[in-house]
Structure 1
Amino acid sequence: MTTSKRYAAGIIAIGLGLTLSACDRTDERLERLSEIGEGVMKQLGGEEIGASGGGTNMESVPVEARAFQGAMQEASPVRVATTTPSKFVVGSIVAKPRSLPQPETVEEAFTGPRIEDYEAYVASDEADAVIVVPTEEEIAELQNPSRSLNLGEPSRMDSNMKGRRIITIDPTSREQMAQGLPRAVLKDQRTLQYRLDEPAANAPEGTDGVAAERPRAMAPAAPIPQKSAERRLMMRQDALSAQVNAESQMIETAQRYGLAANIQRSRSGQMVIEVGSRAMKPTKYGGPDDDVTPWIAEDDESMTCPESMTPEEISEDAVLATVCVIEDLKASGEFEYVEKDWLYQNQFVRRPKNEGPITAVSITPNDPLWSLQWNFLNQGTGTGQVAGGAGFVDFWTKQATQGSPEVVVAIVDTGLEMSHPDIVDSPNVAAGWDMVTDIAMANDGDSRDSDPNDPGDQCPEEFVFEDTFHGTHVAGTVGASVSNNGNGVAGGAWNVKIVPVRALGKCGGRLSDINDAIRWAGGLIPEYDELGNEVWNDNPADIINLSIGLFRFCPASMQDAINAVTERGVVVVSAAGNDSVSTQYYAPGGCNNVVSVAAGDARGRIAPYSNYGAEVDVLAPGGDLQRDDNGDGRPDGILSTKHASNCTDPVTNESIADCYYAYEQGTSMAAPHVSAALALIKSKRPDLTGTALADVLLTALNPRSQEQCSGPCDQYPGAEPVSAGSEICRLPCGGGLLNLSDVNLDN
């Protein structure tokens, strides 16, 4: 793992010692597997396959259960590492106060024998408050009771901050704000709701210094499952004080430039300040009256806050104002980190579409498209094998398991197509959350809510002209779809629990949303329903999959979020990135405490688009749509679930307008193979968590040769030549190729 690269070259893989363990599935499943393996399958798409073949005959299922998108790509010009600057959300800044005390777990917070012990902690509505600071020009409107707090625009305070305490501060009360609380309050949308089934923390004091009334008679707390209790964080009063001091600095800085401010306080310690037009209208891209205010901007590292301009002049330029506020907050010394709210993208590799013939391979689940899923096959050159396979078939067979519903994989991505025919009735999908803040970016008509459905993410501004349904493809590889149901494709872990957490929408995903998504997925922070009630993830993740990327070093706030969940035993799996550069320049693939995954092809070699380097832990199937090394007449991409268009019926080779399966390629496709593999291992060894769980997988990799992890130097600028003057460069791709066949689960 990247934290210290504990798995350097030279680790000897644990030898095969697998024994057929007792069956933990039903006799019915064993009988089904036996039936599938018997005899020789009939013709499939006009080609006869061997006795080891599997899958339902494609001719016997409806076209919607077999049609898919994807074909061989034409050879493309040499790919050069991206030179496009990173992008960020204008007016949005992520920060954390310096010397913030560590939050405590519920168990630590409520072991005290006396009610007085609770006084050291704050209630949730205080911990997750939103501080709104309007400009002086907006004061009159805010004080007018006939006007709404959001100045007539739909804001996060209406649609996203449900349950959070919302306080509007009078920016003219400089003396009071300089002293911290109490502050002059224009409006306090306080919600004092106490759950009688949980221990009571002290109620927050009113802004006039008078304590709000707190219920004294509390019902006994219902037992909290250990997996949830150990990850639920509370906030101490001293931590709140540190945030209040930081808020004062934020308010003062915003006032210096005459900017409105919206400060979101979280018990996780992360704070988000939005300044300018975004502060009072945080959920809109812009409009007819706001065309000059950009929503997304390309990063210009040379831009600094000019001393020659007045604060009034600076405030007229939203991008420049963002830079100046960041510089001022950093200079204050009050913050551990202050950074732009970077925009992340999924890690698909775009490609054209074509058509071609079909030949089937291999066995095990009876899904009709299983014969095209080379990525799950065992490694080798024999029947039912492929050099770049990940060994799932061996694990399913030798370990007699395809996963356990007690194991949870959270997919932080674009959400999940809940109406997909291979997902709609899936018992594997648990309740998730939509973390996308901006309404236009969310593309579903509202902000954060309990619906993680993916409504699509077309973004012509970023040259994305069709919906990617990226998260559905990723989740399908892990196991969100119903496997072995005679329909579509199979996943890597058939029976695990998938929690979809939507953090990417139209044009990408905000760093601040992704950080919250990671923490919510790990069970560390709550979200809020329409009534303002806290909603915790009832299925805290054992594994979190991040098939996302940003071309820059790991942001401090993202590292903070990753550290928070890994400290509690979660394994974070990340795509290494698709820009043919060292993964150290990419996030989260280059962050510490992640399992960073590079993409391999069907030959078991690093794919030409994949990032590489010392930060990579493992190579896993990511696909290459320009090759057909397994000889099935189809591109060597990764076939999985997603709604697509311009498809092909593999039986008739006729064009189909729409379908539910597609080939894709990318490190986004490689990462979920590792997440599924970890889920399978934990299904057999539920005692394993965190680094111990990752150790089992990372010590059973198939080592790669220098040739298998190298490429043309002109395709990988900055890579090291294999020898002086060589045109071939080293592309370190981790400890080896994912190989579940060699996993040893003996105690």
Structure 2
Amino acid sequence: MTTSKRIAAGILAIGLGLTLASCDRTDERMERLSEIGDGVMRQLGGEDVGGPGNQARMENVPVEARAFQGEMQEASPVRVATAPSKFVVGSIVAKPRSMPEPDTVAEAFEGPSIADYDAYVESFESDAVIVVPTDEEIAELQSPSRTMSSDEPSRLDRAMKSRRTITIDPKSREQMAQGLPREVLKDTRTRMEYRMESPQVQIPERTDDSPIIQPAPPAASPIPIPQKSAERRLVMRQDAIGAQVSAESQMIETAQRYGLAANIQRSRSGQMVIEVGSRAMKPTKYGGPDDNVTPWIAEDDEAITCPSGMTPEEISEDAVLATVCVIQDLKASGEFEYVEKDWLYQNQFVRRPKNSGPVTNVAVTPNDPLWSLQWNFMNQGSGDGEIEGGSGFVDFWTKQASQGSPEVVVAIVDTGLEMDHPDIKDSPNVAPGWDMVTDIAMANDGNSRDSDPNDPGDQCPEEFVFEDTFHGTHVAGTVGASVSNNENGVAGGAWNVKIVPVRALGKCGGRLSDINDAIRWAGGLIPEYDELGNEIWNDNPADIINLSIGLFRFCPASMQDAINAVTERGVVVVAAAGNDSVSTQFYAPGGCDNVLSVAAGDARGQIAPYSNYGAEVDVLAPGGDLQRDDNGDGRPDGILSTKHASNCTDPVTNEAITDCYYAYEQGTSMAAPHVSAALALIKSKRPDLTGTALADVLLTALNPRSQEQCSGPCDQYPGAEPVSEGSETCKLPCGAGLLNLSDVNLDE
């Protein structure tokens, strides 16, 4: 669409938005249209952006508290997903078929009886790593000159931290205690072992010859265990570890068949990750042009199957083919519920080319200087301080007299958080998080998994990311990680809730296996480990988990398994629908079961041109459109939030600023955190609500969309259904309606 056509379309939209109930009020309509036109011209000239007093508010703060990145973009063809998915070469995610169902929360409250303790395993057993080295690595391990000094940990040791690591001789047939028919070459246990101790029973000292009366075992503690803490008592049973041991044997035999080294990561969640080939002994090796190791990622090709005419030795020379063959063989064994590639996920920004309580009469709004540019939180309507595509947060803050509660926790599984951001540093809203990125070079911070979820940047020209996105910071800022109402920068949707950053995406994306662990850790279901081997649990298990990530593929079984595990505990999972203008059923996690799938809307309350759509979408929320200015403020209708950016603008002087801390972005990544923030606000007022009950309250607060508001040109949406036979306009189902907190009903 040309610039002149966009301007004409904008004026037409303004005119339509001013249509009054009575058709004979022409003079009033024309007068109002003239007022708006004058306002637009003032705003385009940099005058009084956002209403009376706002210019003075901006002028009274330092430039770093108001400068932002973002300008109108030229229209470009809608990008439709056609590129194949990518996966991590040599990494496979699997789950044994015979894994027993985990204990229920009710059983966790009671805990195992004394007689049952032998049925459970110690934690360092459940999270062990089984390593199958090559002949050269065996020789190195057995060399008397080689020391295993803890001061010089191996790459594998650094990757796995202090989990128990068992290195075995694949040629041995000696039976291990765990059941693996291999000789142990090295067994590194956690430095601090966690044992399940039976309650101590005190026997009174005898003073005579009376018979000894053994007291009965003590009853379960009458002190109730908080439900979130009770999850930690869902320890692994012996029969579950037995299923994993059997699966490990199958994995080892399969790797041996192709002469491949392997490491197998065992988790109490039931998920197992096997890495084969060059990655097995160097699981944090990134690969690249200066490396003799096969590139670490590859594009998926469904046509590649394991050939019958090649020898195992020939297959092992091709890392991609070896990965396919190992997966095929493991599936054929019948041992596994699922076996799949370790898919590579991306954030859901719309990528740009390089260089490119009591009801009051006064609305509650924050004093942050850029608040007037955050149309996405405003009430829906066409009056002053309203916009058709808003989400009604102002009404909720005002009518419910609440901007959130620190008892409510939202976990952001994303690229991490800029901890030194001036609007986030020392924020009382940010709780301790975790870095789940396994690959050191993908992590881009010099180490593997650890307790630091800071985002060091994620430039990746191979994936068209030419500058650091700080994606997780933008998403978290929309929810409420930044300090709102502090006369600095922007406001979040839920000012006072607790944000737990869980870093699972780094340079060039994030591994499926890491994301699955991040979901479970965020929900309080599994621990991570510090350098000393201590179990580190999420002390703030999430009520809501935000997944502004995407993979152009049907929902992987292992991801669905992780989502099910947390939703069964009452967590609401919010997922971006995806940005490729296709049906959300082809996307994960937006197309997974048991998620609230969020499509993106523009400032008019219509589906954005890049947004995915379909029956899987639950709700439409503001995602922005940087090619439009439908609110007439002279700025693009993106979502303004926190992130470090370059090539910025001072809204007071309109001068160029080299660096700033706020930016406009667009995408279903931006839409999802609006829903997460809305859920957090609702739970702040109704802490009794969890899971589907909490989601149902939000789904009653939607403004239905017409077919016209959720449709688009058929030539831009291949596969979409025309609104009528022969029509060039296609249906783009965008959920039950547009998020509208003004209509939320919190009655019992």
CA–CA separation in structure 2 for the residues paired with 1:49 and 1:461: 39
Task: Point out where structure 2 has 5 or more consecutive residues left out of the alignment.
Answer: 1-41, 201-220, 357-362
Equivalent runs, 1:91-102 vs 2, <5 Å: 91-102=90-101
Instruction: After superposition, give the CA deviation of every residue in 1:142-187 in whole Å (9 maximum; x if it has no partner).
Output: 2124336799997553223223111011100147489933631000
Q: For residue 550 of structure 1, give the secondary structure of its aligned residue in structure 2.
A: strand
Kindly indicate whether the alpha-carbon contact (under 8 Å) linking 1:154 and 1:283 is maintained by their aligned counterparts in 2.
no
Find the counterpart in structure 2 of residue 8 from structure 1: none
Partners of 1:288 and 1:136 in 2: CA distance: 27
Give the match for residue 661 of structure 1: 662
Quickly say closer, same or farther: Cα 1:151–1:234, change in 2 above 3 A.
closer
Distance 1:200 1:418, change over 3 A: farther
Contact 1:523 1:538 in 2 (8 A): yes
Deviation larger for 85-94 or 160-169: 160-169
2:638 and 2:566 map into 1 onto residues whose CA distance is 32
Provide the C-alpha distance between the structure 1 equivalents of 2:719 and 2:107, rounded to a whole number of angstroms. Answer: 49
Taking structure 2 as the reference length, the TM-score comes to 0.87
Is the partner of 1:160 in helix, strand or coil? Answer: helix
Q: How has the CA–CA distance of structure 1 residues 670 and 719 changed in structure 2, closer, same or farther, with 3 Å as cutoff?
A: same
1:170 to 2:169 alignment: yes
Offset from partner CA, 1:281-310 (integer Å, 9 cap, x none):
111112677435110000011000011110
Inter-CA distance 494–268: structure 2 relative to 1 (3 Å threshold): same
Residues 1:255 and 2:228 are matched in the alignment: no
Counterpart CA distance in 2 for 1:612 and 1:691 is 22
Q: Give the Cα–Cα distance (whole angstroms) in 1 for the partners of residues 678 and 178 of structure 2.
A: 54
Contact 2:413/2:515 (<8 A) preserved = yes
Residue 533 (structure 1) aligns with:
534
Deviations 1:510-548 (A, max 9, x none): 000000000000000000011110000000000000000
Q: Say whether 1:389 aligns with 2:390.
A: yes
Give the distance between the partners of 1:354 and 1:168, measured in 2 at CA: 49
Q: Per-residue CA shift, 1:403-459, capped at 9, x if unaligned?
A: 000000000000000000000021000000000000000000000000000000011
**Number of the residue aligned with 2:5:** none
**1:45-444 superposed matches below 5 A:** 46-48=46-48, 57-76=57-76, 78-104=77-103, 108=107, 111=110, 114-147=113-146, 157-174=156-173, 176=175, 180-181=179-180, 183-191=182-190, 193-194=192-193, 225-230=226-231, 232-286=233-287, 290-291=291-292, 293-351=294-352, 364-444=365-445
Whether the 8 Å contact between 2:124 and 2:193 is mirrored in structure 1 is: no
Q: Deviations over 1:594-621 (max 9, x none)?
A: 0000000000000000000000000000
- Residue aligning to 1:206: none
Q: What's the counterpart of residue 455 of structure 1?
A: 456
Map Cα deviations across residues 383-408 of structure 1 (whole Å, 9 max, x no partner).
00000000000000000000000000
**Is the contact between residue 55 and residue 370 of structure 1 (CA under 8 Å) also seen in structure 2?**
no
Aligned to 2:715: 714
The verdict on how the C-alpha distance between 1:422 and 1:201 changes in structure 2, with shifts beyond 3 A counting, is: farther
Task: Give the number of the structure whose alpha-carbon radius of gyration is greater.
Answer: 2
The verdict on how the C-alpha distance between 1:156 and 1:389 changes in structure 2, with shifts beyond 3 A counting, is farther
Counterpart of 1:704?
Answer: 705
For the residues of structure 2 that align with 1:153 and 1:277, how far apart are their CA atoms? 21
Asked if 2 retains the 8 angstrom alpha-carbon contact of 1:178 and 1:248, the reply is no
Distance 1:322 1:201, change over 3 A: farther
The answer to whether the Cα contact below 8 Å between 2:48 and 2:54 also exists between their aligned partners in 1 is no
> What secondary structure does 2:280 align onto?
helix
Q: 1:128 Cα shift?
A: 0.2
Alignment of 1:581-592 (within 5 A): 581-592=582-593
Task: Quote how far apart the aligned CAs of 1:271 are.
Answer: 0.1
8 Å contact 1:163–1:534 — kept in the other structure? no
Once the two structures are superposed, the pairs formed by residues 725-740 of structure 1 within 5 Å of their partners are 725-740=726-741
Q: Name the % identity.
A: 86
Deviations 1:30-81 (A, max 9, x none): xxxxxxxxxxxxx9985347878769710000000000000100111x2241
Instruction: Return closer, same or farther for 1:150/1:294 CA change in 2, 3 Å cut-off.
Output: farther
Structure 1: 5+ residue stretches without partners: 1-42, 203-219, 356-361
Higher mean C-alpha displacement, 730-739 vs 108-117: 108-117
Displacement, 1:657?
Answer: 0.4
Secondary structure of 2:500's counterpart equals: strand
Does the Cα contact within 8 Å between 1:408 and 1:539 map onto a contact in 2?
Answer: yes
Which residue identity does 2:427 align to in structure 1?
Answer: S
Note closer, same or farther for the CA distance 1:431–1:63 as it changes in structure 2 (3 Å cut).
same
CA distance in 1, matches of 2:484, 2:178: 61
Task: Name the SS of the counterpart of 1:593 in structure 2.
Answer: coil
- Structure 2 distance, partners of 1:108, 1:733, is 40
Q: What is the DSSP-based 3-state SS (H/G/I as helix, E as strand, rest coil) of the residue aligned with 1:327? A: helix
Q: TM-score, normalised by structure 1?
A: 0.87
Structure-2 change in CA distance of 1:408 and 1:199 (3 Å): farther
- Structure 2 matches for 1:504-523, cutoff 5 A? 504-523=505-524
Q: Which residue does 1:621 correspond to in 2?
A: 622
SS of corresponding position for 2:249 = helix
1:37 is matched with which residue? Answer: none
Q: CA RMSD in A?
A: 2.7
Q: How has the CA–CA distance of structure 1 residues 522 and 729 changed in structure 2, closer, same or farther, with 3 Å as cutoff?
A: same
Q: Residues 433 and 652 from structure 1, CA distance in 2 versus in 1: closer, same or farther, beyond 3 angstroms?
A: same
Secondary structure, aligned partner of 1:57: helix
Amino acid at match of 2:145: S
Distance 1:551 1:637, change over 3 A: same
Contact 2:191/2:532 (CA < 8 Å) preserved in 1? no
Contact 2:105–2:569 under 8 Å retained in 1: no
Say whether the 8 Å CA contact 1:232–1:525 is kept in structure 2.
no
Q: Distance in 2 between matches of 1:457 and 1:388?
A: 31
Q: For residues 239 and 221 of structure 1, do their structure 2 counterparts lie closer, same or farther at Cα, with a shift above 3 Å needed?
A: farther
CA distance in structure 1 between the partners assigned to 2:470 and 2:153 by the alignment: 27
Note the alpha carbon deviations across 1:696-747, whole angstroms, 9 max, x for none.
Answer: 0112210000000000000000000001111000000000000000000011
Distance 1:106 1:685, change over 3 A: closer
Residues 1:483 and 1:724: Cα distance change in structure 2 (over 3 Å): same
Letter in 1 for 2:47: E
Q: SS of 1:280's equivalent?
A: coil
Aligned counterpart, 2:500: 499
Deviates more, 1:443-452 or 1:180-189: 180-189
Q: Is this contact kept in 2: 1:344–1:509, CA < 8 A?
A: yes
Give the CA deviation at 1:226.
2.8
Distance, in Å, in 2 between the alignment partners of 1:96 and 1:290 is 32
Task: For 1:300 and 1:150, locate their aligned partners in 2 and report how far apart those are by CA, in whole Å.
Answer: 43
Separation in 2 of the partners of 1:80 and 1:136? 49
Q: Could you report, residue by residue, the CA deviation over 1:455-486 in whole angstroms, capped at 9, with x for unpaired residues? A: 00011222211000000000000000000000
1:231 positional shift: 5.9
Note if contact 1:141-1:151 (Cα within 8 Å) is conserved in structure 2: no
2:109, 2:230 within 8 Å by CA — same for their partners in 1? no
- Cα distance per residue 1:308-359 (max 9 Å; x no partner): 110001111111000000000000000000000000000001236999xxxx
Contact 2:54-2:372 at 8 Å conserved across structures: yes
- Mapped contact 1:344–1:511 kept (Cα < 8 A): yes
Counterpart AA for 1:65: A
Specify the alignment match of 1:27 in structure 2: none
CA deviation after TM superposition for structure 1 residue 140, in Å: 1.5
CA distance in 2, matches of 1:68, 1:110: 49
**What CA distance in whole angstroms lies between the structure 2 residues aligned with 1:222 and 1:313?**
62
